[in-house]
Amino acid sequence: MATYDLVVIGTGPGGYVCAVRASQLGMKVAVVEKNATLGGTCLNVGCMPSKALLHASEMFEEAGHSFAKMGVSVSAPKLELPAMMNFKQQGIDGNVKGVEFLMKKNKVDVLKGTGKILGTGKVEVSADGKSQVIETKNIVIATGSDIARLKGIEIDEKRIVSSTGALSLDKVPGKLLIVGAGVIGLELGSVWKRLGAEVVVVEFLDRILPGMDGEIAKQFQRILEKQGFAFKLGSKVTGVEVNSKALLAKIEPAAGGAAETLEADVVLVCIGRVPYTDGLGLKEAGVALDNRGRVQIDPHFATSLKGVYAIGDVVAGPMLAHKAEDEGVAVAEIIAGQAGHVNYDVIPGVVYTTPEVSSVGKTEEELKQAGVAYTVGKFPFTANGRSKVNQTTDGFVKILADAKTDRVLGVHIIGIEAGEMIHEACVLMEFGGSAEDLARTCHAHPTRSEAVKEAALAVGKRAIHM
């Protein structure tokens, strides 16, 4: 019987990062993975492959619509979807091999099979009809999340697909109906819209991007509509009839009323994700779950069972790979007797469309609800020199600062490379910085990041370039 200091169940961004950090801290570590490859949803069927297709489809769109105005003359681009999918797969393979390398480099044992917690210090690993029991001082649950399903709508990953199937369609759908106007639906919708699909998004709420700053979401919706997206907000899909020619989706107003039928070639169900705890034996082992099926943890990631911890999508908080990574590092350090910590007030979020949307900290809606007095500084990319010469002027930067202390409470950006620009706000907020601190920090010219400085200046009503 093998004995470890730590066994991590799941090798997504939370799990494998936790294993690496624990090994760095001198622990004997094993990871348990039920899938053929390491890396979890993110590397195999999530963040990484979607970014490959977003990039490739953006290049296709650029070649077809933007090159000519820059004086670059090319013949009309021709889509070779199998080659694009191969480009995506190369990226997946490279990242998965990278995680395998990290496990070897850090002397982490990889146990292939399904992990089940038998109690404190015991994990059963089952594969191919055989099982073995592993003894360990500590266990970290990092099993991530699964797609959320709509009652009465069966996902076959061919015509009615989740995000997984939408990453591997064998042809561009004529009409793509997306259920859910969250991050994943809008990213995958962008891919197939650029490649030629007609895209309709149905959202139960009266807005897109729930949880994001409302003003940013409204502007983003207008930009997507200019790109050809159609939205049916305040609506729900109550059923999908499947026939040989098309899918017939029944759509009703969320508040009730007459139904309509929309025809589609592919329906993408993107209504969120749910914690993945199947087969872990949590109830039998005495690991408590909350009313949403998430593993309950204390402020140090400990579950109700001694020696068992949990991180990532399987616990409360935003379902983001980088949040899971930070938790993986923190829990490894806590197990090692150090002071691991995650600042949940500074977890950035990004939508990787064109333009991108990024945010960190509080939205205006959250500050109003909490009764916090705040000031706002905004700066549009139409007034940013680099954006003007590149003719990529959609969007703006918005900074929210405490009205009394000037401490930055939230930053929201919509624009090209917004996902890269958000990080100076993260660093500033991590150190409790003010809008004045950011406004007095020299920024290189000409860069899009100057818009962040100008927005900070605008908090004090002294922006220079508008």
pLDDT tens-digit profile of 7-63?
999 999 999 999 999 999 999 999 999 999 999 999 999 999 999 999 999 999 999
Structure token pair of residue 138: 């500590």
Q: Is 1 annotated as a binding residue?
A: no
How far apart, in whole angstroms, are the C-alpha atoms of residue 134 and residue 1? Answer: 6
| Alpha-helical segments (H) within 106-257 | 163-166, 183-194, 214-227
309-353 pLDDT, tens digit per residue, is 999 999 999 999 999 999 999 999 999 999 999 999 999 999 999
Query: Average pLDDT by consecutive 10-residue portion of the chain (466 residues)?
Result: 91 98 98 98 97 98 96 97 98 98 98 98 97 97 97 96 98 98 98 98 98 98 98 97 95 96 98 97 98 97 98 98 98 98 98 98 98 98 98 98 98 98 98 98 98 98 97
Q: Contact at 8 Å (CB) between 354 and 58? A: yes
Q: Is 322 annotated as a binding residue?
A: yes
Q: Which secondary-structure segment (H or E) carries 238?
A: strand 235-242
- Return the exposure string of 406-442: e unless at least 16 CB atoms fall within 10 Å of the residue's CB, then b: bbbbbbbbbbbbbbebbebbbebbeeebbbbebbeee
Q: Contact at 8 Å (CB) between 190 and 57? A: yes
Q: From the CB of residue 129, how many other CB atoms can be counted at a distance below 10 Å?
A: 5
pLDDT of residue 1: 63
Q: Is 300 annotated as a binding residue?
A: no
Torsion sign (Cα): 203, 206, 207, 212:
negative
How far apart, in whole angstroms, are the C-alpha atoms of residue 108 and residue 96? Answer: 15
Q: Is 454 annotated as a binding residue?
A: no
**pTM for the complete prediction?**
0.97
Q: Is 272 annotated as a binding residue?
A: yes
Q: Is 181 annotated as a binding residue?
A: yes
Tell me which residue of 273, 181, 161 sits closest to 231, measured CA to CA: 181
Q: Is 402 annotated as a binding residue?
A: no
Residue 53: Cβ-neighbour burial (10 angstroms; 0-12, 13-18, 19+): buried
pLDDT of residue 323: 98
Partnered with residue 380 across adjacent β-strands are 396
How far apart, in whole angstroms, are the C-alpha atoms of residue 367 and residue 441? Answer: 26
Q: Is 418 annotated as a binding residue?
A: no
Provide the annotated active-site residues: 445
Q: Is 183 annotated as a binding residue?
A: yes
Structure token pair of residue 291: 């009313």
Q: From the CB of residue 87, how many other CB atoms can be counted at a distance below 10 Å?
A: 15
Share of the chain above pLDDT 90, in %: 99
Q: Is 182 annotated as a binding residue?
A: yes
| CA triple 208-294-357, angle to 5 deg | 25
Q: Is 228 annotated as a binding residue?
A: no
Structure token pair of residue 108: 């982490």
pLDDT of residue 225: 98
How far apart, in whole angstroms, are the C-alpha atoms of residue 358 and residue 346? Answer: 12
Q: Contact at 8 Å (CB) between 143 and 282? A: no
Q: Is 164 annotated as a binding residue?
A: no
Tell me which residue of 343, 335, 466, 319 sits closest to 396, measured CA to CA: 466
How far apart, in whole angstroms, are the C-alpha atoms of residue 448 and residue 372? Answer: 30
Q: What is the DSSP letter of 354?
A: S
